[in-house]
Structure 1
Amino acid sequence: MPQSDVPGFDALLDGARHSALHLEMRDGYGVAAESAGFAHWLETGERNIDPDSEYWAFWTSLVRRTVARGVRVRRARIVSEPLSDYARYSHAGAVVNIAAGEEVRYLPRRRASDIALPGNDFWLIDGRLIRWNHFTGNGATAGGEMSDDPASAALCASAFTAVWERAIPYEDYKP
């Protein structure tokens, strides 16, 4: 599907009926919307964790209404240890994801060596619809791509399940 036909995250999660799975596999992202917050965190160690702040409001509102419909939203992160600065920043903000209703787990990369993983981060909606997340070498967003290919969906489901089963819940993961 061409990039222009990739729905926004609101349409994607609003269309979910029972599950929304997100697998993140990079140690750093250079997403422009996070740059000021990340720079502030690097300088001060302070992270915005107000779920109703302007920065978080879109996401927390979306997750809350998704979860309220009975959709289970899970996020798994494969991370190198020791964590990169970005992964530590992301971990510091995960309390907001959880407060909104997401379940979040971390899998140290060394424990993922024998898992067949797709080449890109993804969202898997209801076990059938994939939103691939593409990034440049420095972590900037390079758009998304949609797929409903059954073999790709099966790979994503299998990979996510394997990661989830080994991963450590946020509250128990000590970076």
Structure 2
Amino acid sequence: MSRLVRPGPGFDELFSSFGRSAWRFETQPAYHVDAEQQAMRRYLNSGELDVSYLTGWLDGVREATRQGKRYARVRVLTEPLTDYLRFEMAVAPYNIAAGEDIRVLSPAQASELALPDYDYWLFDDEWLAIMHFGPSGLRNAEVVTDPETVEQHRAWRDTAARNGRSFEDHPARGLS
């Protein structure tokens, strides 16, 4: 069983409706998120990092982790990094400080491990949101509760998390 959720309040509700854990697998070399475009351009042009656009997300992660919930992700990083991924790596310490565990894999590792080539969130090990992107960014997320599909995504999560390098250990961490 699945349902589509569009960006906005319906998608945002996914993050207030989980009880224990939210885990993300990221595969895109760039995301087109309107709210971060100005900050990304500024960072790429001057090296100045403004994460004010991220305040709501970081506050939500901090509050969730205070409640004992867990946020984690594995990010597939192109080699060399795209401009967007350089920006994401610069922002990552703020996500980590808020309570997220971020690990990274190369595309070759992801392929070798037979991981999917799409993004998804896995919530509470019980349901997931498979993300569908278009040229302008996130089109929708397919919320899936089918036990077999969820189990496959849990297995991929476990493989990615076990093989991912800690963000702190990745050479791209120091890029600016």
Which range, TM-score by smaller chain? 0.7 to 0.9
Q: In the TM superposition, what are the counterparts of 1:14-93 in structure 2 within 5 Å? A: 14-49=16-51, 53=52, 55-93=53-91
Q: In the TM superposition, what are the counterparts of 1:1-175 in structure 2 within 5 Å? A: 1-3=3-5, 7-9=10-12, 11-49=13-51, 53=52, 55-136=53-134, 138=135, 140-175=137-172
Q: Is the CA contact 2:6–2:139 (under 8 Å) kept in the aligned structure 1?
A: no
Secondary structure, aligned partner of 2:36: helix
CA distance in 2, matches of 1:135, 1:39: 21
Cα distance, 1:95 vs. partner? 0.8
Q: Is the CA contact 1:117–1:156 (under 8 Å) kept in the aligned structure 2?
A: no
Q: Is the CA contact 1:13–1:66 (under 8 Å) kept in the aligned structure 2?
A: no
Aligned AA for 1:163? A
Unaligned stretches of 5+ residues in structure 1: none
Q: Is the CA contact 1:98–1:104 (under 8 Å) kept in the aligned structure 2?
A: yes
Q: Is the CA contact 1:79–1:109 (under 8 Å) kept in the aligned structure 2?
A: yes
Unaligned stretches of 5+ residues in structure 2: none
| Identity rate, percent | 31
> Normalized against structure 1, the TM-score is what?
0.88
Cα distance, 1:14 vs. partner? 2.5
Residue by residue over 1:30-60, the C-alpha shift from the partner in whole angstroms, topping out at 9 and shown as x without a partner, is: 11111111111121122124xxx3x122101
Secondary structure, aligned partner of 1:13: coil
Residue by residue over 1:116-172, the C-alpha shift from the partner in whole angstroms, topping out at 9 and shown as x without a partner, is: 333421110011111122111x46121222111112211211111111111111111
Task: Kindly report the root-mean-square deviation, in angstroms, between the aligned alpha carbons of the 2 structures.
Answer: 1.9
CA distance in 1, matches of 2:59, 2:107: 31
Aligned AA for 1:158? A
CA distance in 1, matches of 2:136, 2:29: 9
Aligned AA for 1:123? W
Secondary structure, aligned partner of 1:17: coil
Cα distance, 1:73 vs. partner? 0.9
